Amino acid sequence: MTTPPIIKTEEPQPKPIPQEPGARDNSPQVWLFRVLSALVVPAVLVLFFFTLDFLQQRDLNKLLQVSVALVVGVAGVWALYWGMDRLVSILPERVATGVRPFTFAGPAMVLLGFYLVYPAINTFILSFQDREGEVFVGFDNYVRVFTERTYLVAMRNSVAWVVIVPVAALLIGLAFATLADKLPRRWEAATKSLIFLPMAISFVGASVVWTFIYRFRPEGFGEQIGIMNAIVEAFGGSPLDWLAVPVWNNLFLMIILIWLQTGFAMVILSSAIKSVPDDQLEASRIDGANEWQVFMRIVIPSIASTIVVVWTTVLITTWKVFDIVWVMTGGREDTSVVAQQMVTEFFTFSNDGMGAALAVLLFVAVVPILIVNVKRFREQEATR
């Protein structure tokens, strides 16, 4: 009953699909048609997009381009699928039945192959190559990652981010969800909206928002326009350049992400808290438990699985965050993180091999978490 609302990794169950003649025909001709039918839609799409100079003109009327793009994106793609379906129908019925699923599923597979499978393998190979991706250098890139200060700092910071941000977002989200549960309904909805609102804001936008919190002016250069320093001065302190204070500046950047992610944690935890059966709560209250005991002994255990899911979700988001650091400090003052360092390497320094090694690091580190998550979920499904 308190199943995490998010990951419903239902194992795909084979559907009792009525046997259609030819569906499992594995003769070479049928396979040829299958491959062809999968390729046609993406191929036509790519040819159309990239030969149409119109779409690549940079100084044409933007709105016109957008409209054409929309027409192509909606009607064009649908028309392509329809056309393929008609074409396949010309084939003898038996062959057509065998080929048709590939006109439906094929284009997705082709796109995935090109945009995820091929690049992922390529990135892995590239991570063993030099900056141009021409000479194999063995484990050099990885050795540098684990020995040079730049990368060690980025990794140290990334680890701090994934330790602190998810826990903070969870705790604040949980506290808020629990308290808001006791409010009148209208107030509960309104305050929850306000906490959730930052989820709509981009990481770049959020960084600009917080610029006006952390803004620093040395003493004697005018009034403080950042609220943190204004508060510090109001209490008689001297202003600080928050984003340049060693080690602590990382925390100030993390607060931006905590601000963004707490709403997410709060909404999910709130619906889990509401699904804790009332009679359990009532029973323990009648037995003399106070609210804190009810919370710790009844509520927390019943929403434990949801907590784990929220925690891992925020953790993965945190691990891959790059925008905030990129905009706020660019990684200066020892604030770099792995995801931002990766972009800096291949985008700013054009070091493809190093960038690829950091990308592989980003990927490999999340795999264990996801495996644990899936395992947990399966056990849960099995015991239901």
Partner 1 sequence: MSAPTETVNAPTPRSSEVEAPATKVKVSRVPVYLGIALITLIWTIPSLGLMINSFREPRSIRATGWWTVFGNLFDSAAWTVQNYTQVLESGFGNAFINSLAVTIPSVVIPITVAAFAAYAFAWMEFPGRQVIFVAVVGLLVVPLQMALIPILRVYTNFDLNGTYPAIWLAHAGFGLPLAVYLLRNYMGSLPSSLIESAKIDGADHFKIFTRLIIPLSVPVLASFAIFQFLWVWNDLLVALVFLGYNEQVRVLTVELSDLAGRGEGTLSLLPAAAMVTMILPLVVFFSLQRFFVRGLTAGSVKG
47 is a contact residue toward partner 1 (CB under 8 A): no
Specify whether the backbone of 22 is left (phi greater than 0), alpha (psi in -120 to 50) or beta: left
> Which residues lie below 8 Å from residue 256, measured CB to CB, with a gap of 6+?
206, 207, 210, 324, 328
For partner 1, the binding residue among 18, 92, 220, 246 (CB under 8 A) is: 18
Give the C-alpha distances (Å, rounded to integers) separating 82 from 71, 91, 97, 110. Answer: 15, 15, 16, 18
Residues 180 and 270 sit within 8 Å (Cβ to Cβ): yes
Taking residues 302 to 341 in sequence order and writing x for each that binds partner 1 by CB under 8 A, - otherwise, the string is: -------x---x--x---x-xx--xx--x--------x--
Give the C-alpha distances (Å, rounded to integers) separating 377 from 59, 223, 302, 317. Answer: 51, 54, 15, 20
Q: With respect to partner 1, which residue has the nearer C-beta, 14 or 220?
A: 14
- Applying CB under 8 A, the span of 5-13, 139-147, 155-163, 241-249 interacting with partner 1 comes to 5-13
257 is a contact residue toward partner 1 (CB under 8 A): no
Q: Which of 230, 253, 250 is nearest to 240 (CA)?
A: 230
> Which residues lie below 8 Å from residue 46, measured CB to CB, with a gap of 6+?
none
Q: How far is the CB of 163 from partner 1 (least distance, A)?
A: 19
For partner 1, the binding residue among 95, 165, 307, 342 (CB under 8 A) is: 342
- Applying CB under 8 A, the span of 137-145, 149-157, 158-166, 174-182 interacting with partner 1 comes to 174-182
User: Percent helix, strand and coil across the chain, each rounded to 5?
Assistant: 75, 0, 25
Give the C-alpha distances (Å, rounded to integers) separating 50 from 15, 65, 113. Answer: 39, 14, 19
Near partner 1 in 268-297, by CB under 8 A = 268, 270-271, 274, 278, 281-282, 285, 291
Taking residues 91 to 130 in sequence order and writing x for each that binds partner 1 by CB under 8 A, - otherwise, the string is: -------x-xxx-xx-xxx-xx-xxxxxxx-xx--x----
Near partner 1 in 199-218, by CB under 8 A = 199-205, 207-213
347 is a contact residue toward partner 1 (CB under 8 A): yes
For partner 1, the binding residue among 147, 182, 288, 383 (CB under 8 A) is: 182
DSSP state of 372: H
Classify 136 as helix, strand or coil: strand
Classify 249 as helix, strand or coil: helix
Q: How far is the CB of 40 from partner 1 (least distance, A)?
A: 13
Burial of 1 by CB count in 10 Å (0-12 exposed, 13-18 middle, 19+ buried)?
Answer: exposed
Q: With respect to partner 1, which residue has the nearer C-beta, 32 or 66?
A: 66
Q: How far is the CB of 199 from partner 1 (least distance, A)?
A: 6
Residues 280 and 191 sit within 8 Å (Cβ to Cβ): no
Q: Which of 36, 13, 3, 56 is nearest to 275 (CA)?
A: 3
Q: Which of 177, 113, 333 is nearest to 241 (CA)?
A: 333
Near partner 1 in 237-256, by CB under 8 A = none
For partner 1, the binding residue among 1, 17, 90, 382 (CB under 8 A) is: 17
Residues 175 and 192 sit within 8 Å (Cβ to Cβ): no
Taking residues 139 to 168 in sequence order and writing x for each that binds partner 1 by CB under 8 A, - otherwise, the string is: ------------------------------
Q: Which of 261, 262, 243 is nearest to 252 (CA)?
A: 243
Q: How far is the CB of 28 from partner 1 (least distance, A)?
A: 13
Q: With respect to partner 1, which residue has the nearer C-beta, 139 or 347?
A: 347
- Applying CB under 8 A, the span of 136-144, 145-153, 297-305, 351-359 interacting with partner 1 comes to 351-359
50 is a contact residue toward partner 1 (CB under 8 A): yes
For partner 1, the binding residue among 163, 227, 245, 296 (CB under 8 A) is: 227
Q: How many residues of this chain interact with partner 1, rule: CB under 8 A?
A: 143
For partner 1, the binding residue among 157, 166, 226, 307 (CB under 8 A) is: 226
For partner 1, the binding residue among 2, 141, 157, 224 (CB under 8 A) is: 224
Q: How far is the CB of 184 from partner 1 (least distance, A)?
A: 8
